Amino acid sequence: MQQPVKIAPSILSADFARLGEEVAAVDKAGADYIHVDVMDGHFVPNITIGPSVVAALRPHSTKIFDVHLMISPVDSYVEAFAKAGADIITIHPEAGPHFHRTLQLIRSLGKKAGLSLNPGTPVDLVENVLDLVDLVLVMSVNPGFGGQKFIKSQLEKIRRLRRMIDATGRQIDLEVDGGINVDTAKEAVAAGADVLVAGTATFTGGPGHYAQNIRALRGDALGGDALEGE
């Protein structure tokens, strides 16, 4: 069943020189999850942060740390991110070699497991691991960078996943990542998403705007008006 919309600010768009304060600020501004994008310059063409940064950020928020691993190979790093304080660990099936095994590993560490589908990755890949996932992440851009344009063809993928998830009767987050703004947020939620990752749309305008940015993404009328009025 589709849950009330949760907002997961991607700290990729935060001020990296003040990351701890930025995490605390979005926590206070109403974020549900803190979305941490981990990139290795190999699986994706960008390099971001590792487990020691996640561990350093952990005391700055009590919210769920939603750690998105865009690294390959991935298995050898899962435990380090679990120990660093990740609550949800999401992997890509292409990060190989055996994503069923990686999901089992995440679960064995007592963490929630997520599977992420790139725009070109078929939805059927989830079918045989549905019992092992707590979250399915639909990439609405190709992974690697913030600030890209939402790929509309992914809305159909979200609709299909909504049906697959509902058929399980289990509570599995359906998260969308990339190009989320007030308009695409509405479309993604209408298609069945219940967790929205938002980097640019959360952090635009600096700390004084985070709360209203998050309210606007949630579809709150006041937040929307405030944004439109700017």
Nearest to 31 by CA among 193, 215, 176, 224: 215
Give every CB contact of residue 201 below 8 A, 6+ residues apart in sequence: 180, 181, 182, 185, 213, 216, 217
Site for ligand DX5 in 53-92 (CB under 6 A): 68
Single out the residue of 30, 51, 93, 146 in contact with ligand DX5 (rule: CB under 6 A).
Answer: 146
| Among positions 91, 197, 217, 227, the unique one binding ligand DX5 when judged by CB under 6 A | 197
- Binding residues among 93-132 for ligand DX5 as defined by CB under 6 A: none
Question: Which residue's structure tokens are 């987050």?
Answer: 173
DSSP state of 6: E
177 is catalytic: yes
Is 134 noted as a catalytic residue in this protein? no
In the complex with ligand DX5, which residue's Cβ is closer, 134 or 177?
177
| Candidate residues 32, 40, 134, 177; the one interacting with ligand DX5 per rule CB under 6 A | 177
Least distance in angstroms from the C-beta of 225 to Zn ion: 28
Closest distance of CB 142 from ligand DX5, Å: 8
**Is 222 in contact with 188 (CB distance < 8 Å)?**
no
Hey, how many other C-beta atoms are within 10 angstroms of the C-beta on 185? 22
First to last CA, the chain: 35
- The total of other beta-carbon atoms located within 10 Å of residue 15's CB is 13
- By Cβ distance, which residue is nearest to ligand DX5? 199
Do the beta carbons of residue 116 and residue 142 sit within 8 Å?
no
In whole angstroms, the minimum distance from the beta carbon of 28 to Zn ion comes to: 22
Binding region for Zn ion (CB under 5 A): 37, 68, 177
Minimal distance, residue 38 CB to ligand DX5, in Å: 9
Nearer residue to Zn ion within complex by CB, 37 or 134 = 37
Q: Is 37 in the site for ligand DX5 (CB under 6 A)?
A: yes
3-class SS at 94?
helix
Angle subtended by helix axes 221-228 and 210-218, to nearest 10: 120
Task: Write down the least CB distance from residue 132 to ligand DX5, Å.
Answer: 21
For ligand DX5, the binding residues (CB under 6 A) are 10, 12-13, 35, 37, 68, 141, 143-144, 146-148, 177-180, 197-201
What residues are annotated to the active site?
37, 177
